[in-house]
Chain A
């Protein structure tokens, strides 16, 4: 289980970083999206992998901490997902404006000598 999970993080991270280093704005935005998946998964994994232990308490029983998944990484990731959406939206609009302004979708606003 852990191996698959770790490999998944690795593959998504690798794809994300590769796209992050590309020259086109759309590639970078996709790279950021992939990277945020990977990072969210990574943070989430800090609570370890638990199945059928959602941190929703059962009021009829005495609370046993060991029976529930770690809620803190979940709260962190939930925040990260929403903020990630906001930054994606902002970046999209900035890249559209930059494209309208500079006439190119190169990240530097000009084609430069490299492609």
Chain B
């Protein structure tokens, strides 16, 4: 379980760091440092287990139904890498404590820093390919946040976006590659995949998997031609550059290539793709590093070059080269992080990193200069330092590679050339900054940094020296464990000695040293422009592709998308038609028609009226809205009667009550629509005529289509569905006789809970929208009718409203208790007979609305306040409580509980949580309906009284 702790510790630390106050710089650093140090110690403590057991595993079920589990796996290689990540993290936290200024919002920094550390450890320790890809993307995200840490700076934002675009795209490719690998291997488990190397290499999809995985690795490790994002990522704070962009994250790419080396390597495709990209990055990166003005720019290109070296080693298909690659991963991390720290210190103490302005800093900061000097020497490959050892191994590999002739000669030459460049830029980095005349006109007078800031750098340099002088006794055993876990029994013999005698690799090293010194002398005068490779600008290509993509998609949007609703609706209807027609044309058997049964004349008459009403609505809706509304109500009534006719009493009741409420609602809305002149335009343009004919034919097609479909369905026997279950189990399981109601409140209670929630949300939305409602100016004045019959202001003390409404008012008030009774009756009997919460609620709401219509809003509200939002809330709570009640009996949410028994006086009783649920539905329906209608009704009052602020309150 300590494996799990290794991943969780940084993430927990990240969470804690995020919630600390902005100025708690020391506390943050202590927290991050403790988390990182604890992780380091945890990793280190596992060394014994790794040595004895080989591979440690831990897994937590993640999505067991999909066969996925969160699995961690640590072998020697993963252990070494995890130790690198954790230890480097600890050192960089210490460095960052002094680097970050008190004005910087440090919680954000340390939080993302630790999150990155956790994600990176996740990549290293993942025992599952998909999980690895997930952590991989997490590191990209953390890197994005950290590059853009100073988000007020344009270059930081741009650099972050570019890094994320490149690495996340690569991550997607990697995911695809992982899916293929897992598919071919038959499992996403790393152990299984590592065993399936032969099967994968022989598979037809191997090239695709290889290309995708390598794409992910090359983008992450900033390899040519995706190298351009790394120099732009240097806008990040220097600790981030030291940690993410030299020591760890960019190593994830080569880590993955090494991890999958037993699976993917060994083919010509691997050699050309991986080796080719590595060689190009090695030479081009080193060459470009020669011409940078920014200290961090030099280091960035140098990182690209060294990663290229590692990639090239991995691409050579030789186990010995793999050993060298792993060795160089560690060596590069130590000297490069230390150099980044030195660059950060110089920046911190002088205020600039521009190498043309810096000079002669040795006198002001001798310790920093000495440390940088040693680290740079290691980078250049000077003997007695660790960089020399792995470079020597690299040279040896290029010399002894078993490839055809031109490669055997070309490769050592290219390697030596890169070595020359490397020596030259290392020399330039040190000589230019620390030696020569002391610089004038620096932003700040240079001096040594606080002692603790030098400690991490010093430790790393010490490691360089130690490994460089006593390799077999320091790094030797760890390297052996790591390479053995990758290569198993085929681990080659290798020697970590400093002295191998006068051989070709040593000659190459010496040649590189001498050539580099000469080259630096030659290049001292020119440093601003890059000769030869000037047109090779990855950033420009990236920008070009980005612009082309965005303008292209804009053009496509303009071509394919309309913002006009009519066009959109037309497309929806046409597509719906096509979607229904296509399967029908494929299967001609569906077209055979059966003879219909003879219609009942009354039913035919009903739909003669109903259909006429529908057509009338279509005809009148433009100019005579009221008529159209009344006519559509006619169709609604016909629908309602149809439901009643064909054995659906619940539907008929609901349709009837909803119909009433809908018509009232729309009537209330009519007042705010613009007046349409009756005089129709004399000449209708041809385009409009054409469009109308088009719409008519579409409507005809849609109507004919749905009608025929209905006919075809109706004349065929019903298929075997799930209905018998509900009919049979309604009584035994649901305890109710009205099956429709039992389905709604019991079997599918969760759906109904969702539905009433939607209803409540809609009501509140309507209310909220109307609170800010601004009617059109021409609708503000009194309506024509109100102007003709000027009504006196309503008298709230009057018993009855004056005028013609007095008699209806009496009737409506008499109706109120009766309607309440009826609605409760519907509610209570709903489980066993037609009725239920929906119908009952609508009946009560209708009565309340009737009071408003007849008595007038002001009069009604002076008598009583209903508070519809409370009803909505109570209704939802009641329904939810009915659902949660099941938990008390340890049953799933919304399981109905019933109690059947007899009480004295009352008699036999059946009480069920279903009733509480239905009461909830009832209350919510009352609240929602009344809230919507009253809110709309209030708009008239508001406009009338011109009191916009208060009127919408209730």
The answer on A and B forming one complex is yes
Chain B: residues with Cβ within 8 Å of the partner, total of 115
Kindly identify which residue among A24, A31, A57 contacts B737, using a CB–CB cutoff of 8 Å: A57
Closest to B611 in A: A11
Contacts of A82 in B (CB 8 A): 654, 658, 755, 759, 838, 925
Q: Encode B728-741 as 1/0 by CB contact (under 8 A) with A.
A: 10110000011110
Which of the candidate stretches B7-15, B20-28, B743-751, B867-875 sits at the interface with the other chain? B743-751
Which has the most chain A C-beta neighbours within 10 Å: B564, B570, B648, B838? B648
Knowing A13-B706, A59-B731, A92-B666, the reply to whether A44 touches B752 (Cβ < 8 A) is no
B673 CB contact (under 8 Å) in A78, A87, A99, A107: A99
Evaluate contact between B706 and A34: CB separation under 8 angstroms.
Answer: no
- Bound state CA distance, A97 and B700, in angstroms? 32
Per-position binary interface string of chain A over residues 18-35, scored 1 when its CB falls under 8 Å from any chain B CB and 0 otherwise: 111111111111110110
How many angstroms between the C-alpha atoms of A51 and B600 in the bound complex?
Answer: 12
Name B632's contact: one of A30, A75, A94 (CB within 8 Å).
Answer: A30
- Asked if residues A21 and B832 are in contact (CB atoms below 8 Å), the reply is no
Q: Are A42 and B710 in contact (CB under 8 A)?
A: yes
Query: Taking the nearest CB of chain A, how far is it from the CB of B658, in angstroms?
Result: 5
Known: A12-B610, A93-B766. A78 touches B740 (CB 8 A): yes
B610 near A107: Cβ-Cβ < 8 Å = no
In the complex, the answer to whether A12 meets B635 with C-beta atoms within 8 Å is yes
B745 to A: closest C-beta gap in Å: 10
A residues 44-92 with Cβ under 8 Å of B? 44-59, 63, 65, 68-72, 74-75, 77-79, 81-90, 92
Bound Cα distance from A22 to B711, whole angstroms: 28
Given contacts A57-B737, A83-B759, A100-B775, A15 and B622 within 8 Å (CB-CB) = no
Contact between A90 and B706 (Cβ–Cβ < 8 Å)?
Answer: no
B159 in contact (CB, < 8 A)? no
Complex formed: what's the CA distance from A25 to B721 in Å? 40
User: A21–B569 contact, CB under 8 A?
Assistant: yes
Verify A5–B699 contact, CB threshold 8 A.
no
User: Shortest distance in angstroms between A58's beta carbon and chain B's nearest beta carbon?
Assistant: 8
Minimum CB distance partner of B715 in chain A = A2
In the complex, what distance in Å separates the CA atom of A81 from the CA atom of B932? Answer: 17
What is the total of A-B residue contacts with beta carbons within 8 Å? 326
Please state if A89 and B762 are interface contacts (CB–CB under 8 Å).
yes
The residues in B between 680 and 728 inclusive whose CB is less than 8 angstroms from any CB of A are 681, 687-688, 691, 695-696, 698-700, 702-704, 706-711, 713-715, 717-718, 721-724, 726-728
Least CB separation from A90: chain B residue? B762
Report A-chain residues with C-beta under 8 Å of the C-beta of B649: 54, 56
The answer to whether A15 touches B707, judged by C-beta atoms less than 8 angstroms apart, is no
Q: How far is the CB of B759 from chain A (nearest CB, A)?
A: 5
Decide: B674 and A55 in contact? CB cutoff 8 A.
no
Which of A11, A78, A103 is close to B650, meaning CB atoms less than 8 Å apart? A78
Within 8 Å by CB of B773, from A57, A85, A100, lies A100
Contact call B596/A1, Cβ cutoff below 8 A:
yes
Q: Are B651 and A44 closer than 8 Å at their CB atoms? A: yes
Q: Which residues of chain A are within 8 angstroms of B928 by Cβ–Cβ distance?
A: 86
The answer to whether B617 touches A34, judged by C-beta atoms less than 8 angstroms apart, is yes
A51 to B775, CA, bound (A): 49
When the two chains form their complex, are residues B932 and A89 in contact, meaning their CB atoms are under 8 A apart? yes
- Which of B665, B718, B728 has a CB less than 8 Å from the CB of A89? B665
- Which residues from B are CB-within-8-Å of A78? 650-651, 654, 740, 744, 838
Partner pick for B564 among A3, A85, A112, CB 8 A cutoff: A112
Of the 9-residue stretches B207-215, B409-417, B636-644, B883-891, which lies at the interface with chain A? B636-644
B614 touches A34 (CB 8 A): yes
Q: Which residue of B lies closest to A53 (CB)?
A: B647
Residues of A within 8 A of B728 (CB): 63, 65
> Interface centre among A10, A47, A88, by most B CB within 10 Å?
A10
Give the residues in chain A near B702, CB-CB below 8 Å: 13-14, 17
Residue of A nearest to B933 (CB): A89
Assembly CA distance A2 to B724 (angstroms): 23
Tell whether A4 pairs with B651 under 8 Å between CB atoms, given A37-B636, A55-B738: no
| Interchain residue pairs A-B with the least CB separation, the first 9 | A10-B707, A14-B703, A6-B711, A18-B699, A15-B618, A69-B647, A71-B739, A11-B611, A2-B714
Q: A8-B611, A84-B658, A101-B774 are in contact. List 17 more A-B contacts (CB 8 A).
A: A1-B597, A5-B607, A13-B702, A15-B703, A24-B621, A25-B673, A37-B614, A44-B643, A48-B717, A69-B647, A71-B740, A79-B752, A88-B666, A89-B766, A89-B932, A97-B769, A105-B673
- Measuring CB to CB, which residues of chain B are less than 8 angstroms from any residue of chain A? 563-566, 569-570, 573, 596-600, 603-604, 607, 610-611, 614-615, 617-618, 621-622, 625, 628-629, 632, 635-636, 638-639, 642-643, 645-651, 654-655, 658, 661-662, 665-666, 669, 672-674, 681, 687-688, 691, 695-696, 698-700, 702-704, 706-711, 713-715, 717-718, 721-724, 726-728, 730-731, 737-740, 743-744, 748, 751-752, 755, 758-759, 762-763, 765-766, 769-770, 772-776, 779, 832-834, 838, 925, 928, 932, 936
Residue contacts A-B, CB under 8 angstroms, 8 given = A12-B610, A17-B698, A40-B639, A41-B639, A68-B647, A71-B726, A86-B762, A93-B932
- Contact residues of A with B, CB < 8 Å? 1-31, 33-34, 37-38, 40-42, 44-59, 63, 65, 68-72, 74-75, 77-79, 81-90, 92-97, 99-101, 103-105, 107-108, 112, 114-115
